[in-house]
Amino acid sequence: MKIVILFLMSISLAHADSPMESILTEDAIHALRDPFHAPSIAILAKEKPKSDLELFAIKEYKLNGVITGSKKAKAMVTLPNSKSFFLSIGDRVGLRDGHVLSIAGDSIKIIEYDRDENGKKIPEIFQLLISGDIVSLTKKEEL
33 plus 56 within the same structural domain: no
106 plus 129 within the same structural domain: yes
103 plus 130 within the same structural domain: yes
In a domain, 44, yes or no: no
Query: Using 50, 70 and 90 to split pLDDT, how confident is the model at 33?
Result: low
What domain range is 130 assigned to?
52-142
DSSP 40: P
In a domain, 56, yes or no: yes
Average confidence score pLDDT of the chain: 77
Domain total of the chain: 2
What is the predicted pLDDT for the residue at 140? 52
Whether the CB-CB separation of 112 and 58 falls below 8 Å is answered with yes
Q: For residue 3, which amino acid is it?
A: I
> What would the pLDDT profile of 38-94 be if each residue is shown by its tens digit?
665 544 455 566 788 999 999 999 999 999 876 789 999 999 999 999 999 999 999
Q: Report how far residue 83's alpha carbon sits from residue 44's, in angstroms, rounded to the nearest whole number.
A: 29
101 burial (CB, 10 Å; 0-12 / 13-18 / 19+) is middle
What is the predicted pLDDT for the residue at 117? 86
129 plus 72 within the same structural domain: yes
